[in-house]
Amino acid sequence: MREFPVDKKTLEEWKKFPLRFVGKKSRCCDTQTLLAQAMEGGFVMQYCCKCGKSDYLSEEEFQKLYLWVACPGCKVQMKRSKGAKRHNYTYRCDDCKWEIKLASLVPREADIV
């Protein structure tokens, strides 16, 4: 697999777009969480909408997210995966050999907390 080459300008536009991705209910306030990139490199966490406290996004929770990500090459739905290096959650297309990090699709922590 190879990471889909997203230029910096496109990536910044994706990050600024007002679309938000909902995670599980927070442990602290029992309210919705939003997903955001917690640090450079692609680490994604969940943030409580009420108090802003963070929590990890487990692989099981990632697998339950309902996001339909289309392959930039063939336009079919990409599969959820742990990524080529097993460090980041990604969406991959086995036919085109592309993968896109979940972190590329969600806003940065500073934009939601």
List pLDDT tens digits, range 29-42.
Answer: 999 999 999 988 88
Which tokens hold the place of 82? 């742990």
User: What distances in angstroms separate CA 22 from CA 1, 74, 108, one per listed residue?
Assistant: 27, 27, 14
Q: What is the pTM of this model?
A: 0.84
Closest CA to 109 of 26, 24, 25, 20: 20
pLDDT confidence of residue 85? 66
The one-letter amino acid code at 66 reads Y
- Give the pLDDT confidence of 42-101 residue by residue, as tens digits: 889 999 999 999 999 999 999 999 889 999 999 999 999 987 666 789 999 999 999 999
Query: Which pairing describes strands 2-3 and 33-39: parallel, antiparallel, or unpaired?
Result: unpaired
Structure tokens at 84: 């080529």
Average pLDDT over residues 9-26: 84
pLDDT at position 60 is 92
Q: How confident is the model at residue 8 (pLDDT cuts 50, 70, 90)?
A: confident
Report the pLDDT value the prediction gives residue 48, as an integer from 0 to 100: 96
pLDDT attached to residue 10: 84
Domain chopping of the chain, boundaries: 2-111
Q: What is the side-by-side strand order in the sheet with 90-93?
A: 2-3, 98-101, 90-93, 79-81
Instruction: Supply the pLDDT for residue 53.
Output: 95
Output the DSSP codes for 41-108. Answer: TTEEEEEETTT--EEE--HHHHHH----PBPTTT-SBPEEE--TTSSS-EEEETTTTEEEEHHHHSPB
pLDDT value for 84: 64
